[in-house]
Amino acid sequence: MKRLLVLLALLAAGLCPAGARAEALIAAMSSHQIQITSNYTGSQLTVFGLVERDGRTVARGDPYDIIITVRGPRRMLLVREKERLGPIWINRTQRRFPDNPVFLLVASNRPISEMMSLETAQRDRIGLANAERPSGSWVDLDPSSRRFRESLVRIMQAKDLYGYAERGVTFLSNALFSAPVEIPATAPTGSYTVDIVLYSGGVPLARQQTNFEVIKTGIEQRLASGAYDWALLYGLATVLLALFLGWGASVIFRRD
């Protein structure tokens, strides 16, 4: 009897592949490129998707949730803590955040606190404050690291480069959703990744990733390329232009 049960278990495992899932996530973007021109003041993209469910599976008791995380180009960011010394402020301590996204946006169809516990969000690196936690560690061993990380998020939010939209995802039907992504004028050029994760009851069910890029076009791109490709010539031209403008201003505003 024991051998028969083992054989039936092995047969069931063979008929049900490990990669098979009840839900699949299909997502796309309205555009995969943002072009920066001289009159660029920001742009908006739209992420839209569809939850595809296997009709043979039983419907889940918990509703579907979507969390979208948009990460921009990665740079080394520096946060300094200032201390007042008499009438002036001086830099006291600092913390470096290497390979950190300059742009970070998190959007969900409802507050993340209603989807899962705080411990789960920290462990799975979900949300604006947890998205860039060190991988494999959801407990702050250094007491000052949390303070500096929160300061980094607050500074970047003031620059409109970090943001959290707790109802930024809208379900147009039971399976169809969309979410606007605002890209400010201060957003850096480069490649952006978009992670879309489907949840139910705080458990991830499916994941999809797409991307877009922000590039310069027109005279801005030609000037940037010229400064990089012909650095010496560009520097000489800049100096000559400054001298010419200075001489012209002295002639125009000269007092006889």
pLDDT (tens digit per residue) in 202-246: 899 999 999 999 988 866 666 666 676 777 877 888 888 888 888
1 or 165, higher pLDDT: 165
Given a cut of 80, whether residue 76 has pLDDT beyond it is: yes
- Percent of the chain at pLDDT exceeding 70: 81
Strand order across the 170-171 sheet:
23-29, 43-53, 176-183, 170-171
15: confidence class by pLDDT, cuts 50, 70, 90: very low
> Regarding predicted confidence, which is higher, 55 or 75?
75
Sheet architecture: strand order including 104-108: 33-36, 203-216, 190-200, 64-71, 104-108, 162-165
CB atoms within 10 A of CB 169: 21
User: What backbone torsions phi and psi does residue 109 show, to the nearest 5 degrees?
Assistant: -80, -15
Cα–Cα separations (whole angstroms), residue 34 to 1, 43, 47, 190:
65, 7, 14, 10
- Cross-strand partners of 181: 45
Pick the CATH number of 22-216 from 3.40.50.1100, 2.60.40.3880, 3.30.930.10, 2.40.50.140: 2.60.40.3880
Q: What is the average per-residue pLDDT within 137-144?
A: 58
More confident residue, 62 or 73: 73
Task: Give residue-wise pLDDT tens across range 154-213.
Answer: 999 999 999 999 999 999 998 899 999 999 999 999 999 999 999 998 899 999 999 999
Helix, strand, or coil here: 127? coil
**What's the CA gap between 41 and 35, in Å, rounded?**
11
Average pLDDT over every residue of 62-89: 88
Q: By mean pLDDT, which of 15-29, 49-63, 87-101, 102-116 is the weakest? A: 15-29
